Every structure is written in structure tokens, then in C-alpha cells.
A and B are shown apart, each in its own frame.
Chain A
Amino acid sequence: MSEFRDIENQLRSLSPKDPPIHLTKRIEQGLGEAGNLAVRCFPDENKPPAREKKICDFLPYRFGLGLAASLFFVLVGYQLFDGQLTINQTKDVPNHSDLTFSVIEDPESPIHGVSVAELEQMSGMPVGGWTPTFQERLLDRIDEGVVSRPSGTPARQVRMHYLDQILWQHPATETRMISTKPRQEIILIDLDLY
């Protein structure tokens, strides 16, 4: 249709008006969870590159620090249950002193009988002043097909694999610890038949 090429080009130079913002918002609400199943990830340009380097430098020490942190939390938990540490209770918090916890001591544990202060001294790691940063990473998304709800309505089942990461930072000693935990979520998206 070369005879119409000129008129076609003129038509293509016209741009339809963009949809109003409120329509995009309405679609976002209408989609709900289904809108977040397919996402595009791109690097955060505002993020300073120095931070990545610090984490990489820190990697050789991570195992040791992780072990020390684990020991620390086990000890704190143990002492809390054992009643050696006191917690300030406000009026709003109910008193659970009547509750009993059974704590089994493990004499073979490397931190058995070690106090918090001793642990701090032994590990060279501070006990307080840690701030956690949570991050959720989407690893995989698996479409498991159409299933029937108990009500009989069809729904698409999608399994999401996440990796939850907690970055513990101690600004005073410029120390960081990273702990990760895998997690799965199943989402059912209602389907309309028409």
C-alpha cells in the first residue's frame, strides 16, 4: 500500500491522549496481588557503591561473627528464661510471672555458665547497639496452574520463593552481620470465567 504511505505516516504522527492517573490507580486496586507477580528489578542508582565494598571486605569475618552472634542470642534467651535478667514492665504489659518455662540446660554447650559480660569479652563483640535492617528478595515464582477453591471457583496458584535477609549493623565498631532465611508463599488469584 505504498500509495497510502504518506497518509499512514501522518496518522502515526498523531499521539492518543494518555489515560488519566485515576484509571491507573483503579487498575492497581483491581489487580491486587496479581499485579505484583511479574516484576522488573533494576539497580538502585541512589545507592552508594562503597557499601557493597564494605560488605565484601567483611565476608571473611562473617562466619566468626555469625557464630559469636548466635552464641550471644542463645545466651540472652537462656538468661531471660532463667530469670537472671530483669525486664522493666510497664502497666500495660500483663505480668506473666505465673507462667513457667522449662529450660533444659546443656552442659556441653560452649557457652554453658558464661555470662553476657564474659561472652562479650571472649568474642570481642559488643552486646548492645545493634540495629537490624530487613530486606525481602524474590528468588523465584512458580505458576502451579489453575486449582479449584473449596467453593468451586477457579483460581491460579502461584508459589513465591523469598529470601528474608537481616543485616545487623553496629556503627560504633563498624561491624555487620547478615542472616538469611528462605520463605515460601502461596498466592491464589481468583479467575473470572467469561
Chain B
Amino acid sequence: MISEPIWKTWFAKHGAKLLMFARQQARNPHDAEDLVQEAFVRIWRLYGHTGEVSPGLVYRAIRRLAIDWARSLDRRVIREQKTFELSPLSSSFVYGIEKDEQKEALLRAVDRLPGEQKEVLSLKVWGELTFDEISRTLDLSLNTVASRYRYALHKLKEWVPEELGMNETNSLT
């Protein structure tokens, strides 16, 4: 018999989504990795012996740790690291070898969304959390979460054709 720790399978399934969420919460990619590590280890130590850990718990731990860490940083460090905040959400996704204009337009549109809508969108679409879990993760009301998600989708639906059109214009000129 071969035995493998369950956390490895769990992390292989959820790690990419957790890291993407952490990138939205952290000031730089290194902090994002530290956040994921710290949050995951804390939660797995508490509940990992059961073999079943709800991803929502780890998302919430990431969020709370990010807030704690942000409070502990002084203003100078925050200013120095400000540039990293500009790294777009689209950089967290896998790019295929083939050029897919539709996907590129979608990612550009996602980048244009306000931060609070991107948070909800990533937890709902890629984190596969329910609105209830998202509201508890982000400490927001259920209505706020649902409306942010709806606004985000509405804007994307409007912006993607726009982005595609702009791309065509750029290629013609």
C-alpha cells in the first residue's frame, strides 16, 4: 500500500484559486504566497486531521491575515510596495499557446473591474464559493455580495465586445 497525505491532493485542487485570491489581498506576489502558506497551515492544523477542510475557511483566513498584515506595515513600506498593487488579475491565469482573442478581451475586461467586484467574481467563479460563504469571507452582507457579482457580470458583458472591437481597430491601424 502507498500512502499520500490528503492535504497534497486538497492543495493541488484548491491551491491555484487560493493563490489567485491571495494576490488580490496582498501587496506583492511574495506576500501572497506567504499568506496562502500561513492561512493553509493554520487551518489544516486545526481541522486537517479530519481529512475534510472547507475551502471557505482558508479563504477567510487569507482575508483576515491580509488585513492583520496590512495594519502591521508602516506607511513607508506600503508606499514602496504600491507598484505591485498594479499587477493585473489577468496575470494570475494560464495563457494558452494559441492566441484566443475572446479570452484576451475577457481578461482585459476583468482587469477593468473595480477591486471589490473582482474579489467577489474570483471567489464565486473560480473559488466556487456560495454567496453565503463569500459574504462570510469578505464580512459583507449577502445582498452586497450578490449585487457586486451581478454588476461585475453586467459590465463584463458590456465590455468584452468593446474590448474585441478595440483590438480589431488596433490591428487595422
Q: Are A17 and B93 in contact (CB under 8 A)?
A: yes
Interface size on B, residues (CB 8 A): 49
Task: Enumerate B25-56 residues with CB–CB distance to A below 8 Å.
Answer: 33, 36-38, 40-42, 44-46, 48-51
A16-B94 contact in complex given A7-B156, A27-B37, A34-B45, C-beta closer than 8 Å: yes
Q: Are A16 and B93 in contact (CB under 8 A)?
A: yes
A106 to chain B, nearest CB (A): 41
Check: A91 CB closer than 8 A to any chain B CB.
no
B61 to chain A, nearest CB (A): 8
Q: Are A17 and B157 in contact (CB under 8 A)?
A: no
B contact face: mostly helix, strand, loop, or mixed: helix
Partner of B94, one of A17, A23, A26, A192: A17
Of the listed residues B1, B50, B121, B156, the one surrounded by the most CB atoms of chain A closer than 10 A to its CB is: B1
A1 to B150 Cα, complex, angstroms: 8
Stretch at the interface among B71-79, B80-88, B100-108, B132-140: B100-108
Contact with B along A181-194 (1 / 0, CB 8 A): 00000000111101
Q: Are B125 and A16 in contact (CB under 8 A)?
A: no
Chain A interface size range: 35 or more
Q: Are A194 and B42 in contact (CB under 8 A)?
A: yes
Q: Which residue of A lies closest to B109 (CB)?
A: A7
A37-B49 contact in complex given A19-B15, A27-B37, A30-B41, C-beta closer than 8 Å: yes
Partner of B125, one of A11, A30, A42, A158: A11
Q: Are B150 and A14 in contact (CB under 8 A)?
A: no
Q: Are A23 and B1 in contact (CB under 8 A)?
A: no
Q: Are B45 and A20 in contact (CB under 8 A)?
A: no
Of the listed residues B20, B103, B107, B125, the one surrounded by the most CB atoms of chain A closer than 10 A to its CB is: B125
Q: What residues of B have a CB within 8 angstroms of the CB of A20 in the complex?
A: 33
A7 to B155 Cα, complex, angstroms: 10
A23 to B160 Cα, complex, angstroms: 34
A30 to B43 Cα, complex, angstroms: 12
Q: What residues of B have a CB within 8 angstroms of the CB of A16 in the complex?
A: 16-17, 19-20, 92-94, 126
Q: Are B125 and A138 in contact (CB under 8 A)?
A: no
Task: Enumerate A8-67 residues with CB–CB distance to B below 8 Å.
Answer: 8, 10-20, 23-24, 26-27, 30-31, 34-44
Q: What residues of B have a CB within 8 angstroms of the CB of A1 in the complex?
A: 150, 153
Partner of A39, one of B4, B36, B110, B126: B4
B97 to chain A, nearest CB (A): 14
A11 to chain B, nearest CB (A): 5
Q: Are A18 and B15 in contact (CB under 8 A)?
A: yes
Q: Are B49 and A158 in contact (CB under 8 A)?
A: yes
Q: Are A35 and B1 in contact (CB under 8 A)?
A: no
Q: Which residue of A lies closest to B21 (CB)?
A: A16
Q: What residues of A have a CB within 8 angstroms of the CB of B156 in the complex?
A: 7, 11
Of the listed residues B3, B9, B45, B110, the one surrounded by the most CB atoms of chain A closer than 10 A to its CB is: B45
Check: A143 CB closer than 8 A to any chain B CB.
yes
Q: Are A17 and B92 in contact (CB under 8 A)?
A: yes
Cross-chain pairs A/B with CB under 8 angstroms, 22 sampled: A1-B150, A4-B150, A7-B157, A8-B125, A10-B160, A11-B106, A14-B126, A15-B93, A16-B16, A16-B19, A17-B93, A18-B15, A19-B16, A19-B33, A20-B33, A24-B8, A26-B37, A31-B44, A39-B3, A40-B5, A44-B1, A189-B45
